[in-house]
Amino acid sequence: MSPIATLRTPFPEKFGIPRQSGIVEAAHGRVEFLPEFDRPDFVRGLESFSHIWLVTLFHQSPPWDGKSTVRPPRLGGNERLGIFATRSPNRPNPIGLSLVRLVNIEHEPKLALEVSGIDAVDGTPVLDIKPYLPWCESRPEARAEWAGEAPRLLPTDQLVCPAELREKIGPADWNLITELLRLQPQPAYQHDPDRTYGMSIGKWNVRWRCDAERIQITELTMRET
Amino acid sequence: MSPIATLRTPFPEKFGIPRQSGIVEAAHGRVEFLPEFDRPDFVRGLESFSHIWLVTLFHQSPPWDGKSTVRPPRLGGNERLGIFATRSPNRPNPIGLSLVRLVNIEHEPKLALEVSGIDAVDGTPVLDIKPYLPWCESRPEARAEWAGEAPRLLPTDQLVCPAELREKIGPADWNLITELLRLQPQPAYQHDPDRTYGMSIGKWNVRWRCDAERIQITELTMRET
């Protein structure tokens, strides 16, 4: 197994990345093919599909620790479930599966796919790309008890940002930052109003505080890259 | 990457296996965990899910030949498409993705999952098992032009079997054989009425002839295993 492409995303760090694909449409990524696969022929006909699978490597997760269970953040971190009953990145074979929308196929200067709804850290190796087949892979009737619904989004009016910070930033970046923070990336079991959280989103460093009801952006600075 | 389980299926050979998962519900498989993973803890909570992903290895496909395109059988074998625009098993990293229904979790004598709708050859190594998340992985609106619909099934009354053969076989096996043959496993571009096709299905060897309209079972014998 060796990568066929590298995934570029607005997420230089793991903290704050949406926990599944397709949640944050504004999160665009680019699948950049490695030289061996940088030929239009490899994706001939891919434009017939609106959605594709990216089979990825969880390259930034530590090697599997041999434990059979993990504590999914969706359950507040209190309950242990079997690794194979979760989507945790910490698993025996660190393979990720992301269903993304195919936005554009770029042929120049190199072969790349623009995708949206990404949930992976920048630099993620891509092992495979497959077209999504709705007639056999869309099963809306499937049961998934505790993981059956999209995560709750904080209402927009509970995300507060001082005007002088808001003015720094263009509409696309603001939209992405808003969608990500509404997911309340801080651990579900932590509502410490004195704690400041931070994440990097594209070219921005964002810092915020929160309580159970509200997120308050406190800092918004340009990243040094 | 090393397997966590072995998939047992009714398909000892590649020819005739349904081309995607979920098409033939009657095709049941068993995911048998390897000794290192043979502990109930690994699947604790999996019963919350009706459907699961099996990430598999296409272990019987020849190593990738370096070609950028393949000829999907769905297009009659005449048109070349990019590997990453198809689900061909002959790909740079031979990773398969099967969405199956979880029928039962067996704890005794060993940890195993009974699944249905399987599309893999017997003995397929399983690299990972993940729960299916309908809220982000079910996209009925996805576009998939030439691969947008389930394959056409031959009407039941066009599948013909002499009574003396039909009598040999129980209802479950007959149902599986019927569902598989209605998929018309012979290559789409071959309708040679003089040719006999054969495949092994569970404990049976089945042979048939076909033309564009009809499949006629000609032989049904017990496999020597």
Is A142 a domain residue?
no
Share of chain A above pLDDT 90, in %: 85
Q: Which residue has the tokens 């054969």?
A: B198
Is B145 a domain residue?
no
Residues B36 and B63 in one domain: yes
Residues B168 and B103 in one domain: no
Contact yes or no for B87 and A4 at CB 8 A: no
Is A193 a domain residue?
yes
Provide block-wise average pLDDT over 10 residues at a time, chain B (225 residues): 97 94 96 98 98 98 95 86 97 98 96 98 98 97 92 92 93 95 80 88 95 90 87
Is A16 a domain residue?
yes
> What integer pLDDT is reported at residue B188 of this predicted model?
67
Residues A42-64 pLDDT 10s = 999 999 999 999 999 999 999 99
In order, the DSSP letters of B134-175 are HHHH--TT--BGGG-SPPPPPPGGGEE--HHHHTTS-HHHHH
Domain stops at, among A137, A172, A206: A137
> What integer pLDDT is reported at residue B83 of this predicted model?
98
Residues A59-109 pLDDT 10s = 999 999 999 999 988 887 789 999 999 999 999 999 999 999 999 999 999
> What integer pLDDT is reported at residue B107 of this predicted model?
94
Which of chain B's residues have a Cβ under 8 Å away from the Cβ of A61? none
Domain count, chain A: 2
HSE, side-chain direction, 13 A CA sphere, residue A185? 29
Query: Do the beta carbons of residue A179 and residue A24 sit within 8 Å?
Result: yes
Residues B102 and B190 in one domain: no
Residues B129 and B22 in one domain: yes
Is A118 a domain residue?
yes
> What integer pLDDT is reported at residue B189 of this predicted model?
60
Residues B187 and B82 in one domain: no
Q: Which residues 62-101 of A have a C-beta within 8 angstroms of B?
A: 68-69, 80-87, 91-93, 95, 97, 99
Query: Do the beta carbons of residue A133 and residue A50 sit within 8 Å?
Result: no
Q: Report the C-alpha gap between B77 and A93 in whole angstroms.
A: 34
Q: Note if the pTM is more than 0.90.
A: yes
Burial of B111 (0-12, 13-18, 19+ CB in 10 A): buried
Contact yes or no for B142 and A51 at CB 8 A: yes
Contact yes or no for B85 and A140 at CB 8 A: no
> What integer pLDDT is reported at residue B202 of this predicted model?
95
Q: Report the C-alpha gap between A47 and A31 in whole angstroms.
A: 15
Band of residue A147 on the pLDDT scale cut at 50, 70, 90: confident
Give A110→chain B minimum CA distance, Å.
16
Q: Report the C-alpha gap between A221 and A215 in whole angstroms.
A: 17
Which of chain A's residues have a Cβ under 8 Å away from the Cβ of B44? 68-69, 80-82, 85
At B82, which CATH number?
2.40.30.70
Residues B89 and B175 in one domain: no
Kindly tell me if the per-residue pLDDT of A189 is higher than 80.
no
> What integer pLDDT is reported at residue A48 of this predicted model?
97
Give B51→chain A minimum CA distance, Å.
6
Find which of A84, A86, A97 to mutate to test the B interface (most B CBs within 10 Å of its CB): A84
Q: How many CB pairs under 8 A join A and B?
A: 217
Nearest Cα residue in chain B from A144: B49
Q: Report the C-alpha gap between A159 and B45 in whole angstroms.
A: 34
> What integer pLDDT is reported at residue B143 of this predicted model?
97
Domain stops at, among A103, A137, A171: A137
ipTM, two decimals: 0.95
Burial of A170 (0-12, 13-18, 19+ CB in 10 A): exposed
Band of residue A188 on the pLDDT scale cut at 50, 70, 90: low
Band of residue A192 on the pLDDT scale cut at 50, 70, 90: confident
> What integer pLDDT is reported at residue B187 of this predicted model?
75
Asked if residue B134 has a cis previous peptide bond (ω within 30° of 0), the answer is: no
Nearest Cα residue in chain A from B94: A1
Give A84→chain B minimum CA distance, Å.
5
> What integer pLDDT is reported at residue A90 of this predicted model?
95
Range of the domain at A46: 5-137
> What integer pLDDT is reported at residue A56 of this predicted model?
98
Is A150 a domain residue?
no
Is B37 a domain residue?
yes
Band of residue A190 on the pLDDT scale cut at 50, 70, 90: low
